[in-house]
Chain A
Amino acid sequence: KNEVEQSPQNLTAQEGEFITINCSYSVGISALHWLQQHPGGGIVSLFMLSSGKKKHGRLIATINIQEKHSSLHITASHPRDSAVYICAARNRDDKIIFGKGTRLHILP
């Protein structure tokens, strides 16, 4: 079983919908990044979380350390949000572990 589990694996939604992507981890972590990868490979870090909630534009990320869970929300989704979203966590051994990613497709 992967130490970091993401859901859903694939998500198709209409433009304007509210999107939620979940990341659950089974080990203790010190920090977690949400990453965005567009076709072609380039990866961008959207947020780093160690506690609480962060917001940037239409994106909101939350983490609950006790429940070992983080969520990424996209409000008013747009076709340009179509990408693969990956959560990456730094565990207590200081190793970096990844979810398998969520492929998001926003239809115009």
Chain B
Amino acid sequence: KAGVTQTPRYLIKTRGQQVTLSCSPISGHRSVSWYQQTPGQGLQFLFEYFSETQRNKGNFPGRFSGRQFSNSRSEMNVSTLELGDSALYLCASSLDPGWFTGELFFGEGSRLTVL
């Protein structure tokens, strides 16, 4: 079955712009979570969605937002981009939001460069 698909894979933006990233989970998975990875901070949790509802959110400013659609696809948006937002953005999908089923599948990521 198809894996987790993230688009776009690479993008370059300038400071002040906004960006939208997309994540299509594995078919049947209703939970999608988002992460930011940078060389300095490592992996950090952004937010988690289940059945179109945001279940929880990490410690990021309000410029970071997301949503999940009825087909479980998810998008995240970063407004007023800053240089420090340059990172690899990863999403992961699972059957349930609590990890109880044990399976967690990651996409290849969207690499954002802010100039």
Residues of A bordering B, CB below 8 Å: 30-31, 33, 35, 41-45, 48, 86, 88, 90, 93-101
B75 within 8 A of A: no
The interface stretch among B11-19, B65-73, B78-86, B94-102 is B94-102
Over the window 13-50 of chain B, the binary record of Cβ atoms lying under 8 Å from chain A Cβ atoms (1 yes, 0 no) is: 00000000000000000000101010000111100100
Residues of B bordering A, CB below 8 Å: 33, 35, 37, 42-45, 48, 55-56, 58, 88, 90, 92, 98-100, 102-106, 108-109, 111
Q: Which chain B residues border A95 with CB–CB below 8 Å?
A: 45, 56, 58
Q: Which chain A residues border B102 with CB–CB below 8 Å?
A: 48
Which residue in A30, A31, A98 is a CB contact (below 8 Å) of B42? A98
Q: Which chain A residues border B92 with CB–CB below 8 Å?
A: 43
The reply to whether B105 and A94 form a contact with Cβ atoms under 8 Å apart is no
Q: Which chain B residues border A93 with CB–CB below 8 Å?
A: 56
Q: Which chain A residues border B106 with CB–CB below 8 Å?
A: 35, 42-45
B interface: dominant SS: strand
Q: A41-B88, A42-B108 are in contact. Are A33 and B43 (CB under 8 A)?
A: no
| CB-based nearest B residue for A6 | B42
- Minimum C-beta distance from B46 to chain A (A): 9
| CB-based nearest B residue for A98 | B43
Q: A93-B56, A96-B45, A98-B44 are in contact. Are A33 and B99 (CB under 8 A)?
A: yes
| CB-based nearest A residue for B3 | A42
Q: Which chain B residues border A99 with CB–CB below 8 Å?
A: 42
Which residue in A31, A48, A96 is a CB contact (below 8 Å) of B33? A96
Q: Which chain B residues border A101 with CB–CB below 8 Å?
A: 42-43
Docked pose: A88 CA to B99 CA in angstroms: 11
Docked pose: A31 CA to B44 CA in angstroms: 17
Pull 20 A–B residue pairs with CB atoms less than 8 Å apart, ordered by A.
Answer: A30-B98, A31-B99, A33-B104, A41-B108, A41-B111, A42-B108, A43-B90, A44-B106, A48-B102, A48-B103, A48-B104, A86-B42, A90-B98, A94-B98, A95-B56, A96-B33, A96-B58, A97-B45, A99-B42, A101-B43
